[in-house]
Amino acid sequence: MLRPVYDWMLRQAASRQAPYILSLLAFVEPIIFPVPPDVMLAPMVVMKPENVWRYAILTTIASVLGGCVSYFLGYLFVDWAVAVLSARSSIGLDEYRRIFEHWGVLFILAKGFLPVPYMIITYASGAAHFSFAQFLAAATVTRGGRFCLSAWLSKRFGPQVQERIERNLMLWASVFVVLVVALVVLIRYIS
């Protein structure tokens, strides 16, 4: 079912409208779209490596804005957000509230980088009434880190990067999560 969408995104990466389509896809991914924008970002960077950081930043901004929309949808329409979460996650709202109470920003940082539907985290954050400021900061860091890493890998390794990213995304995501957790622990230890 997702394969035609995936193939369409790859074809669009070569079009003149690619930056606009990438922005739109990155914006709707946290709201309703099941395919991550990395699928289009990587080939765009391979085709125009001089735009690597432009594309990464564009994708980050659009994704964070889309995440804010779904956060507020979850915040304002809790019952609806719970129905969305029930269809996509085995965790209930009370469990999400406990997770945010104990892990908060770390949970968003980890989940926002991993290849899981980002919309789950955005809706859950809003429905659980997690701090919007903390959500926004964590979303910006995690999505920015993910898309900058994806863009850099695309530029560094060229056309074969698409396969490498798809095959090793969990490894790269795990490394990023470990570094972020280590940084947070270090900051808490020093403070």
- For the stretch 21-35, pLDDT in tens is 999 999 999 998 777
Return the pLDDT at 66: 97
Q: At what angle do helices 132-157 and 52-76 cross, to 10 degrees?
A: 150
Number of residues written out for the chain: 191
Q: What is the pLDDT of residue 1?
A: 46
The mean predicted confidence, pLDDT, of the chain is 83
32 CB neighbour count, 10 Å cutoff:
10
Whole-number Å distance between alpha carbons of 111 and 121:
7
Residue 43 CA to residue 120 CA, distance in Å, equals: 26
| C-beta atoms surrounding 101 within 10 Å | 10
Q: At what angle do helices 38-47 and 3-12 cross, to 10 degrees?
A: 30
Query: Is residue 191 scored above 60 in pLDDT?
Result: no
Q: What is the pLDDT of residue 36?
A: 83
pTM for the structure as a whole: 0.80
| Per-residue pLDDT reduced to its tens digit, 65-98 | 999 999 999 999 999 999 888 888 888 889 999 9
**Using CA of residue 150, residue 105, residue 89, residue 71, what is the dihedral sign?**
negative
Of 63-67, 108-112, 115-119, where does mean pLDDT reach its minimum? Answer: 115-119
**Whether 97 contacts 128, CB under 8 Å:** yes
From residue 162, how far is each of 8, 45, 116, 182 by CA, in Å? Answer: 15, 11, 18, 29
Long-range contacts of 160-167 (CB under 8 A, 24+ apart): 161/42, 161/46, 162/42, 162/43, 162/46, 165/38, 165/42
